[in-house]
Amino acid sequence: MALAIAGVFLFFPEMSSALDTKALDEIYQFVVLALVFPFALGFIRLLKSAQSKTKGCLVDSQQFPQVLSTLEGLAHDAGLERTPLVVVVPGLEGLSHSLQAGGESVILIHSDLLNAPRPDGTLGALHFALAREVGNLSANHQALWYEFSTTVSQSIPFLKNLLNWTETYTADRYGAALAPEYAADYFGVLALSKDCWLDFHPSQTIKRAGREKIFNLVAAWTNPAPPLPWRMLALAHLGVFRGDMVGPPHISTQDLEKYHAPLFSKPAILEQGAEGQMVAQGSLRDHFAHSN
């Protein structure tokens, strides 16, 4: 549009005489802003990507090789062309975040995820967090064209929240497709902390969904992310958080090859039938003790 307006005034200069000075200034400002904005946005994205790699420890074959190995497997299963870079940071809003700029993808993970292993040493919460960020990248939530096309939505508070909610639910669903057996670990750490997540009761949290008082319900819609019980309930309806949630993985690479769409709409874990909607009772500590 900006180019079209600029072309009109360039090839039809008599149009300028039909408008007053104030109107012309506003039009020129709009054209300049519209033409400069994509380049400014690209520069800001490159700057943020560069800054992210200076905040913590870059994962490679020498530093946290198990994290790199996990990510490579997830990226392959999701159909990403390149494995993203991973940076472990000591402080982060949320447990993970992803960026994309200059053809390079970066995933930031909170260092707490490396300090919240299962009793057998498995880093389940980390695994699910990486799966969610791979989902964000697969769904193009960090792509330049996506950010540019949602600029208006991101500048309006309520619409911005709705957009964030959609992205959150989509990332959760990717996590459920790629690493369903680690969902409880992730939400336990997210709800409590790396220190007491084993005492997390998934069933008790899910039961809270839909029982909010009207004022709490209204307040929930003003949050930038969906309430935790709502997110977990959405996955519980899809067969996650079952009694065998601490068992071995339920999805193989061969299963996922059928679902390399932008959104894994119906992965194998979601085809278990109605019994898959039953939520495991007790704390995660109880389940791990029972599984051993």
Q: What is the pLDDT of residue 290?
A: 75
Q: What is the pLDDT of residue 27?
A: 57
Q: What is the pLDDT of residue 292?
A: 61
Write the Ramachandran bin of 102: left for phi over 0, alpha for psi from -120 to 50, otherwise beta: left
Q: What is the pLDDT of residue 124?
A: 94
Q: What is the pLDDT of residue 217?
A: 75
Q: What is the pLDDT of residue 109?
A: 92
In this prediction the pTM is: 0.73
Q: What is the pLDDT of residue 17?
A: 54
**124 and 113 Cβ atoms separated by less than 8 Å:** no
Q: What is the pLDDT of residue 261?
A: 39
Q: Kindly give the parts of the chain with pLDDT less than 50.
A: 2-12, 14, 41, 45, 247-277
Q: What is the pLDDT of residue 134?
A: 94
Q: Which two tokens stand for residue 235?
A: 């996955």
Q: What is the pLDDT of residue 48?
A: 59
pLDDT tens-digit readout, 107-130:
999 999 999 999 999 999 999 999
Q: What is the pLDDT of residue 50?
A: 54
Q: What is the pLDDT of residue 23?
A: 57
